Amino acid sequence: MSETLLSVTNLDAAVEGFQVTYDVDFAVERGKAVGYVGRNGAGKTTTFRSVMGLADILGGSIRFKGTELTDLRPEQIPKHGIGYQPEDRKLFTGMTIDENFRMPIWTLGDERGIDDEDAAVEDVYDIFEELSERRQAQVENLSGGQAKMVSIGRALALKPDLLILDEPLEGLAPIIVERLKEYIEEINDRGIAVLIAESNVQHVPEMVDELYVVERGEIFDSGDPMEVSQKRDVQELMQGSGQE
């Protein structure tokens, strides 16, 4: 029997006093991959920031492994097993790839039960092998694709049960997109649940078990990834010719 890892119910959230999401409902089961797609400004980032305690919650519930996250401060949420790659990456500049991977362990490793820092970091390099050869490189000198990999890898360092990825494929060359998709699929194959937001619906269906489409802060459609992505109204919406 499947286990619900993350459950978002009737979520109303705001940014700087302006309501962005309305009655959002979705769930992520343990070990599964879920896509969350919508046009720019549809409410994807606000939903993810709500899970991480970084948006103003007006109503609703966000439960993770039975714990109500809306009762917690933002710094407490990663301790429960959620890794987060924000849309803007937010790498620690002036530091190396290796130091970026180790920083979460230095701050929260004890509370996540990580007693072997080196082993945890090597697990990340085992996925992103191309970064292993550049582990002493300063992150500000990386390409866009490598920077995305470091941001995802840093979120993995604390061995999360759920990895939240906000636009991990945005702005990357097609060959890099395909490589990152393989990395994300490998992460999911290792038993880590993945929640992925993207503005391009074509990137997502083959990567996920379930797909949600969001528009104007509400769930527009959901279900089987291939079926939902091929619906005419979803395609029109994602191309900008849907609801106005």
What whole-number distance in Å separates Cα of residue 225 and Cα of residue 212?
8
Mean pLDDT for 110-136 is 95
Q: Within a domain: residue 243? A: no
Which residues span the domain enclosing 77? Answer: 4-238
Q: How many domains does the chain contain in total? A: 1
CATH number at residue 9: 3.40.50.300
Q: Within a domain: residue 244? A: no
**With 0-12 CB in 10 A as exposed, 13-18 as middle and 19+ as buried, what is 46?**
buried
| pLDDT > 60? residue 241 | no
Q: Within a domain: residue 17? A: yes
Paired residues of 11 in beta bridges: 24
| pLDDT > 70? residue 243 | no
From the list 98, 108, 103, 40, the residue with the least C-alpha distance to 74 is: 108
Instruction: Give pLDDT, residue 10.
Output: 98
* Confidence at 89, pLDDT banded by 50, 70, 90: low
Look up the pTM and report it: 0.94
Mean pLDDT for 171-184 is 93
From the list 38, 34, 44, 63, the residue with the least C-alpha distance to 188 is: 34
Q: Within a domain: residue 72? A: yes
| pLDDT > 80? residue 240 | no
Question: pLDDT (tens digit, 9 = 90+) per residue, 28-66?
Answer: 999 999 999 999 999 999 999 999 999 999 999 999 999
Going by C-beta distance under 8 Å and a sequence separation of 6 or more, which residues neighbour residue 211? 34, 35, 37, 204, 205, 222, 223, 224, 225, 228, 229
